[in-house]
Chains A and B, each alone.
Chain A
Amino acid sequence: MNKTGIIFFPAFDWSLGEFHPEREERLLYTQEQIFEEGIMDLPQVRQYSPGVADLFDVLRTQAIFPDFQQHNLDAHLIAVGSSLVLGNALMKKEITNGFALVRPPGHHSGATVWGNRGFCTLNNEAILINVLRAKYGIKKIAVIDTDVHHGDGTQDIFYHDPNVLYISIHQDGRTIFPGTGFTEEKGGPNAWGSVLNIPLLPGVGDEGFLYALENWIMPAVEVFKPDLIINSAGQDNHFTDPLASMNVTARGYGKITEMIKPDLAVLEGGYAIEGALPYINMAIFLALAGEDYSGVVESQKPQNTEIGGDTIRSFLTDLKRTNEAVRPSWAFRKEPFLPAGDWVYSEKSIYYDTDGFKENRREYIRKCSHCGGTVLMISQKPSVFQKAVLVRIPFEACPDCEQAGYDLAETFQKSEKTVLLQNQLRNQVHLWTDGREVNPFGG
């Protein structure tokens, strides 16, 4: 029997708008279900009270542009904070695993944040992971993202980080938001292979999902040997989900959870408010607590025909072959502002679907054989002619990369309005506005 922690934070007084799928009603029926079942009365279960994350923990992981005061972060800070409460409980060995059943979700929120994307503003799991690394010295963490959407934000945050393995299994990006997560995306120059994407054909049910887990995902996790496993537990693979077309059942989710054995699961998407969420949340929860979840049965039956058997097995075998054949191709670039070293260059355009604008980003990564490499992101919100810069010195940075980070911060703080330095190595965050360092944390 596992000692399982739960935080249930449905944010009943927060919503993105009246007709938005990410709505206050999302966890209403889950509440009815888990309360009525008496889950909190299971002797091995401990319910925790939500927490509020502080800005330092956010800015260590994500750059909030042009400044944090322009966003209403209350609900998001509680979703993050609640994940941190469980993370701390896990580290103190009060629990053996935990489920942060919170909204709003977070996995579409990336390294730079100008607004809300895919209902996410802050990335719950990414902030949690970096707290666990900074505060408890955890070295290697695997994230398994079982949401039907590609967790592009989490991938973005850890793309250059060799110590975080990001695995996402999702519906093919050509058929669904956010349009990323192809098997060729395998990580940056210093972290090649630390990203694994498994885009699935629409219609794959429990069978295909579990096949991929057993034959590809879990073996990859085993090779990586993480100290901790985090599950981005999106629930939109369910056969009743209105935004996606996978065919997974609640008991399928129970089985997925049993196979992944996450130390912490954090709720992501899932918009079948009535048909899926109450049942899946129950199944995941029971699986985490080591209880029998076979009694969790949806009131509706799956209608769609499932792609199963040989079709899905040969599809996945081909996909795996493609994945293994991909070789990196880096574009190097020299710029007057870049310190010594080889800098890999890429460009990215990020669409904020909730608010309807675009962010353009230029990214420079210092190629390094000793560490994850310093990262420079020059980010722009063209609609309002705003520009901001993020410099990240990674966890366990080598001296050269650390120095490169300081040099970049010094260069840009003079020329740019907003510059954020995430010094993950020294657990420091510095922010400059108009060339002056400001302390956003108060006190």
Chain B
Amino acid sequence: MASLIGIDVGGTFTDAVMITNGVIERKGKIPTNQDDILNTLISALDYLQISKAKNIETITVSTTLVTNAIMQKHLPEVELILFPGTGMKLSSLPWPVDYSVLTGVLDYRGRVVVPADQSEWQTLAEKLNQQSVKPLTAIVSKFSHRNNVFEEQLAAYLHREVPGITTALGNQSGKSNFYRRTLTTYLNLAATELFQNFAYQLKMAVEARGCRAPIRVLKADGGVLPLAKIRPVESIYSGPAASVLGTLAQSNPEESYVVVDIGGTTTDIGLVLSGSPLISTHGAQIGPFLTNVRSLAVRSASIGGDSAVCLDQGEIMLADYRLGPAYCIGGISPTPTDALRYLNLTDYGDLQRAEEALGMLLPENQRTASDLRRTAEIIVEKMVEKIARAIQQLLEEWKTEPAYKVWEVLHHHDDFKFYIQLSGGGAPGLEAALENRMKMRTVLTKFSEVSNAIGAAMAKPTFSWTLHLDTKFSIYRIEETGEQGIWTGPKKPHREVENFLKELAQKQAAGLGIETDDLEKEIFDYFPLVENYHTVGQIVKGAMHVPPGVIGRIQS
């Protein structure tokens, strides 16, 4: 009877659960210390008494470590070297980091149009050698996901000329686009040392408690990977993914619903279509950085139980920040939690203080029971309205996803019967109001208070392999791993490509410790390459995924 452990580091609280055979054995919440994520995690593991547990299968954590470092700009300096080639001017997009530019142009199929200029490389090496700290260097070229030649050659050159240099290359995450790939490469390189230290210390701490269970990290796409295999940048925004997975583990596998997880300052909203979480068509954005990190399509509304309630020219307003906890549990400002408590929709906090909090919003002569009640109702209404708008935005976003094939357009919006799966603090108090506002059946998630930790504990490993094969040039590339290689198969392949990718996926999955039993295949596209009315090859595009999901269901 092996146990699964899940820990989700949230903004205010860290959830922890231990699950054995689908039954929650221990669960709890401890306050998060944002300045010391490592110790928060270790405290949570101690709370679960891992040193006493006999047989722990895995420990999965969802951590805000990298997110915090990026948001608080606690990242080391990185030399960013770009080969932007031709096309749109770099200045058309906002660059949150400095960069330098080198000569060299690739076209959309990865052909070298203008070669690199090695005399520039020499100047660069001299500059880097003069720096006292050996630099972290990120090298990204436009179309390097089609041909890594500039990046690889410059990296090799710098490793020869600049002893002790660390490089990261754009093609290692071979997805378009150039801008997002550059920022992702930059962030990942910048966060690597921080993350590796954290990983090492966490592993040591767990081992010191006599536990040998593998540690895994939750990713933005709702999947997990072993601590040692994950790219640090992939761990950003795993909190909303944990909510979606937690709900998944507590609901019917075939259903379609909106996940609404009400937190202290934000409410996370996700979408599950026939049991599969919706993946965003764009990459995740973190602060000013657009990335190509694959993530679930989630929305975060800046409203939660602790949101500050204030008056603006006599009108009640919900702020998108918190001023400490709810008044009814000792805070300083009225909050939606106080309103819910006053209306007896929850039993969390002190009723007397909740009444006081609402009174603060009214002139002294108007603090009658009916006025207080009306004030509380307005707060709840406004909160529900904010959440409802965010739900509608996510649904709209899903409906207006791009489509590139006739088939996709015609089968785009097959009807899903959605309902709402509601979890988080104050969820019971909002159930009726949200159901009424959205005209959607609303169901409370059972272990709502530790839903995120359940999601982490039960998340499956995920991975995707997206193949781009150009048989004219006999080159294949895998976007996610950056692998580029020679294709020795036929110029006009058919099914053999799928087997090729499947074998590659299985081999790499084994290295990552991922099972590939439920490898999902996307439809492969075959484009005939015609030159002067002769077919000279094909471009083949296709993908296989281990989709996000959960191991089994929680027994209620």
Contacts and interface: CB of A to CB of B under 8 A. Distances in A.
B406 A292 contact: no
Nearest to B531: A274
Given A38-B93, A41-B93, A292-B89, A47 B406 contact: no
A28 B539 contact: yes
Nearest to A293: B88
A49 B403 contact: yes
Interface stretch (A11-19, A162-170, A196-204): A11-19
Nearest to A32: B108
A36 interface: yes
B157 to A, nearest CB: 24
Interface residues of A, number: 44
A9 B89 contact: no
A437 interface: no
B contact face: mostly helix, strand, loop, or mixed: loop
B180 A38 contact: yes
Interface residues of B, number: 45
A49 B400 contact: yes
Contact of B404 (A9, A23, A36, A52): A9
Contact of A282 (B87, B401, B406): B87
Contacts of B146: 32
Interface in B11-54: none
A75 B412 CA distance: 14
B142 interface: yes
A50 B403 contact: yes
Contacts of B528: 18, 23, 25
Interface in B124-147: 142-143, 145-146
Interface stretch (A233-241, A258-266, A295-303, A391-399): A295-303
A278 B111 CA distance: 14
B352 interface: no
B109 A9 contact: no
B178 interface: yes
Nearest to B91: A292
B495 interface: no
A48 interface: yes
A37 B113 contact: no
Interface string B156-168: 0000000000000
Interface string B178-202: 1110000000000000000000000
Of residues B108, B146, B539, which shows the largest number of chain A Cβ atoms within 10 Å of its Cβ? B108
A37 B412 CA distance: 27
A325 to B, nearest CB: 43
Contact of B530 (A23, A33, A37, A297): A23
A282 B88 contact: yes
A126 interface: no
Contacts of B412: 49
Interface in A43-77: 43, 47-50, 52, 74-75
B515 interface: no
B403 A41 contact: no
A280 interface: no
Given A282-B87, A295-B86, A32 B178 contact: no
B111 A299 contact: yes
Given A25-B527, A25-B530, A41-B290, A12 B88 contact: no
Interface string B501-529: 00000000000000000000000010111
Given A33-B87, A36-B142, A295-B88, A19 B530 contact: yes
Contact of B409 (A24, A33, A50, A295): A50
A50 B94 CA distance: 28
B176 A36 contact: yes
A14 B176 CA distance: 24
A24 B180 contact: no
A8 B404 contact: yes
B433 to A, nearest CB: 31
A74 B405 CA distance: 11
Contacts of A33: 87, 108
B177 A35 contact: yes
Contacts of A36: 108, 142-143, 145, 176-178
Given A12-B525, A25-B527, A42 B409 contact: no
Of residues B93, B180, B412, B529, which shows the largest number of chain A Cβ atoms within 10 Å of its Cβ? B93
B402 interface: yes
Nearest to A79: B406
A349 to B, nearest CB: 29
B406 A74 contact: yes
| Closest 7 A/B residue pairs (Cβ) | A38-B179, A32-B108, A38-B177, A49-B400, A13-B405, A35-B176, A299-B113
Interface of B: 86-89, 91-94, 105, 107-109, 111, 113, 142-143, 145-146, 176-180, 282, 290, 399-407, 409-410, 412, 525, 527-530, 533, 535, 539
Given A14-B406, A37-B177, 7 more contacts: A13-B405, A25-B530, A32-B108, A36-B143, A40-B282, A41-B290, A291-B92
28 contacts: A8-B404, A9-B403, A9-B404, A10-B404, A12-B525, A14-B406, A19-B530, A19-B533, A25-B527, A25-B529, A32-B146, A32-B176, A33-B108, A35-B177, A36-B108, A37-B87, A37-B88, A37-B142, A38-B176, A38-B179, A40-B282, A41-B179, A48-B400, A49-B412, A292-B91, A294-B89, A295-B86, A297-B86
